Amino acid sequence: MVNLAKPDSLYNNGMKILCFSNHLKQKENVGWHRVGENISYYENSYKREVVGANGVQKYSRNFYTFTFTRTFTSDNDE
């Protein structure tokens, strides 16, 4: 995912993505749970320019990228 605006994220401190699996809910009564590997949130090279009402650029900031790997364990899960 790109074009995020926050300069930092809890994902940089070990938080994982939230997932719900119908298969796990039926089989093990597990609802929403945290998953994911190789989670990273970082500044990328895309710029966002903030322009004032007079059309003059006020400042420029970078966007941020969020990446992760998710391995699905059940076929045809939702």
pLDDT exceeds 80 at position 20: yes
Residues 34-67 as b or e (16 or more Cβ within 10 Å = b)? ebbeebebeeeeeeeeeeeeeeeeeeeeeebbbe
* 41, 9 contact by CB (below 8 A): yes
What predicted TM-score, i.e. pTM, was given to this entire model?
A: 0.72
Q: Write down the pLDDT at residue 37.
A: 95
| Average pLDDT in the chain | 89
pLDDT exceeds 90 at position 28: yes
Q: Write down the pLDDT at residue 77.
A: 86
Average pLDDT over residues 41-68: 85
